[in-house]
Structures are given as C-alpha cells and as structure tokens.
C-alpha cells in the first residue's frame, strides 16, 4: 500500500474514532490523525525523491556513494525513516511551507492527552481534530495537488469541516473574554496562548468577570465546567511560553529569561518585567551600593551588595 493511501486511511479512521461514542477511542483518534499528517509529509518527500529511488528522502540516514559509472549519487542507509525534526529540516531546504507552530501545538496536545486523557476532556480531542483540518486541507491542495474533499471522501470531509467551524466559533467567543481582561504584563499576554484547563486540558477557557483585577483572575472551562484561578496555571503558562527561549539562551552562554521567585516560590520571576508576574514581588536591591553593579535575584540576600563586594566585606569583617 502506498504512503498516500496509508495517510488517507489513518485520517479517515481517526475521524471515525472521533465520532464514536466509546471514550476509549478518543486517544486513538488523535494518534491516527497525527500519524496521517506525518504520512502526508512523507508522501511529499517521496514525490521529490529521484526517479530511481522514490523513498530516498524519507530515509533518516542518507549517504553519498559512487555508482557503477563512478558518479556520486545518494542512497538511504537502514530502514529508519525521517522523524519530525528531519522532515522540518528537509522541508526547509526544499522551500516547502508548513505551519509548524500549529503542528507542534497539535503534537504537544497529543502527547499530553496520551498521559492525562479523561472522559471529561472531549473538547481537547475536538481541538486537535479542528486544528488538524487546516493542516490537512492546505497540504493536500497546495503541496500534493489533490482535492481534499475528493481525496478524503465526503463523509470524512464533512466531519472535519463541521468540527473546525464549530470549534473556531467557540474558541473566538472564549478568547474575547480573555482579551477583555487587563493582564498587566506583556509576558503574561504572550503566555496566554498556552492557557489551558488544569482539569481537562481544553483551551476553551473563559474569563467570566472582566472586572477582575490582576493577578486574581477567575477562569471557567467551557469544556468540563471546571472553575479555577489564573494563579493555578500561571506557572505552567510561563514555562510553556519561555522554556524554549531559556534552553537556547543557556546553551549560548546566556541567562534564562525567568527564574524562581524568592517570595512565592513559583518559577515566574520574569527578568524583562523586573518582577514576579504571579505575586508581583520586585527586587529590593537593584544595584550594588559599593560598586554600582546591577544586582540579580541571587544577590538579594547580600542586602545591597554584589557577591564580590559581599565577599570583600566579609573578609574585612573577619580580620
């Protein structure tokens, strides 16, 4: 069976799983749809592979060799095929445009659901189906030259279209209530894209009281009905938003954009904001009283001195 047919079968089965009344098939729906999308990507790589070796570009390991004429050609080594990162890299070098931020969002939600799924989170599954719709539609039409409705069949296409439309409308209504709140800090506003229910993991979150004052913001999940406070999820939102930047910065010899707050213990002290966005703690000492060097969180225990001046002061006191 061809890769494209496997992709279509996976997506169609995933939609059938999604429509089932059996909650146990929900995670299966997510797996099948995500697998189908990756198979579509692999199909494109096969189409771009040389005529004599149509699976070359889906091989994880490709090496140059000499053929019988002494020419340099490439061949795939082993049976392992490309992973997501390799597909990204090859698409980038081949100028194939994919909304990777949307795919990563789907992929992360899929991983979370496989660990935390409950029957109370149907909208988390519906979100994946809805957001997958655009990826599937665009890739089939733009990169594989196929009509999505004809390729997937009327029944599968109608379900994807309906779920996408309904979910988008609900998401828009929820987002309107979130944006009506004064979130005070730009870092927090950016992190709101990661806002999810801490009960069912749905992103359909309302802020029912626009008059709430930061940081005490009440939230309501439209999926499972759970009421919670922004303080319950702010640490996760910040981590999801800044973890990638933190890793890159540290690997390049820089500092993390956020740290653990000395006051509340949450990892929500944002250096750019010069405060903790959870409890709004601000550093008491910002520059050394002796040498005027900028002070960080770790210097606060020195009561106004940098670590070097503190060391010299302690040495003098000991003499």
pLDDT at 231: 95
Alpha-carbon distance of 165 to 183, in angstroms, equals 28
Please give the distance of CA 294 from its chain centroid, rounded to a whole number: 34
pLDDT at 269: 95
SS3 state of residue 260: coil
Contact 73, 67 (CB under 8 A): yes
Alpha-carbon distance of 186 to 27, in angstroms, equals 35
pLDDT at 122: 66
Write out the DSSP string of 166-205: HHHHHHHHHHHHHHTS----HHHHHHGGG---TTT--S-E
Alpha-carbon distance of 117 to 200, in angstroms, equals 7
Within 10 angstroms of residue 278's Cβ, the number of other Cβ atoms is 22
Q: φ and ψ at 84, to 5 degrees?
A: -60, -45
SS3 state of residue 319: coil
Contact 105, 127 (CB under 8 A): no
pLDDT at 286: 79
Residue 312's contacts (CB-CB under 8 Å, 6 or more residues apart) are none
From first to last of the 319 residues of the chain, give the pLDDT tens digit.
689 999 999 999 999 998 888 877 888 888 899 999 999 999 999 999 988 788 888 888 887 777 777 777 777 777 788 999 999 999 999 999 999 988 988 888 788 777 765 555 666 778 888 888 889 999 999 999 999 999 999 999 999 988 888 888 888 999 999 999 999 999 999 999 999 998 888 888 999 998 899 999 999 998 788 999 999 999 999 999 999 899 988 888 888 999 999 889 999 999 999 899 999 998 888 788 778 788 888 777 777 788 778 777 777 666 6
C-alpha distances in Å from residue 82, one per residue of 42, 87, 90, 91: 8, 6, 9, 12
Ordered alpha helix ranges (H), the chain: 3-19, 26-48, 84-93, 100-116, 122-142, 148-152, 154-179, 186-191, 234-251, 307-318
Q: Which of 127, 115, 114 is nearest to 202 (CA)?
A: 127
What are the residue ranges spanned by the domains of the chain? 3-167, 174-236, 249-318
Cα pseudo-dihedral 246, 232, 284, 298, rounded to 10: -40
pLDDT at 1: 65
Helix H or strand E encompassing 229: strand 227-229
CA gyration radius for the chain? Answer: 26
pLDDT at 242: 94
Helix H or strand E encompassing 220: strand 218-221
Q: Which of 242, 252, 200, 194 is nearest to 221 (CA)?
A: 200
pLDDT at 252: 86
SS3 state of residue 267: coil
Alpha-carbon distance of 151 to 208, in angstroms, equals 42
């Amino acid at each position: 069976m061809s890769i494209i047919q496997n992709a279509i079968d996976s997506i169609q089965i995933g939609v059938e799983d999604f429509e089932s009344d059996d909650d146990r098939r929900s995670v299966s729906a997510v797996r099948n749809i995500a697998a189908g999308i990756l198979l579509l990507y692999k199909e494109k790589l096969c189409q771009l592979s040389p005529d004599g070796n149509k699976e070359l570009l889906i091989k994880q390991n490709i090496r140059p060799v000499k053929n019988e004429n002494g020419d340099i050609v490439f061949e795939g080594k082993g049976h392992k095929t490309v992973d997501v990162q390799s597909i990204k890299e090859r698409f980038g070098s081949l100028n194939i445009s994919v909304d990777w931020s949307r795919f990563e969002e789907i992929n992360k939600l899929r991983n979370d659901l496989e660990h935390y799924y409950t029957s109370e989170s149907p909208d988390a599954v519906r979100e994946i189906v809805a957001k997958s719709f655009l990826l599937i539609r665009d890739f089939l039409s733009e990169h594989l030259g196929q009509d999505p409705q004809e390729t997937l069949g009327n029944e599968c296409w109608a379900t994807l279209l309906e779920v996408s439309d309904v979910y988008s409308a609900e998401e828009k209504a929820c987002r309107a209530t979130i944006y009506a709140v004064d979130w005070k800090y730009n870092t927090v506003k950016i992190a709101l894209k990661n806002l999810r229910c801490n009960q069912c993991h749905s992103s359909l979150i309302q802020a029912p009281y626009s008059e709430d004052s930061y940081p005490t913001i009440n939230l309501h999940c439209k999926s499972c009905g759970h009421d919670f406070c922004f303080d319950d999820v702010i640490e996760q939102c910040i981590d999801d938003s800044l973890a990638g930047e933190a890793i890159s910065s540290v690997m390049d010899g820089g500092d993390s954009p956020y740290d653990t707050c000395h006051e509340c213990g949450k990892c929500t002290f944002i250096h750019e904001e010069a405060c903790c966005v959870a409890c709004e703690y601000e550093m008491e000492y910002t520059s050394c009283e002796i040498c005027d060097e900028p002070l960080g969180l770790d210097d606060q225990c020195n009561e106004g001195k940098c670590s070097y001046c503190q060391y010299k002061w302690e040495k003098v006191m000991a003499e």
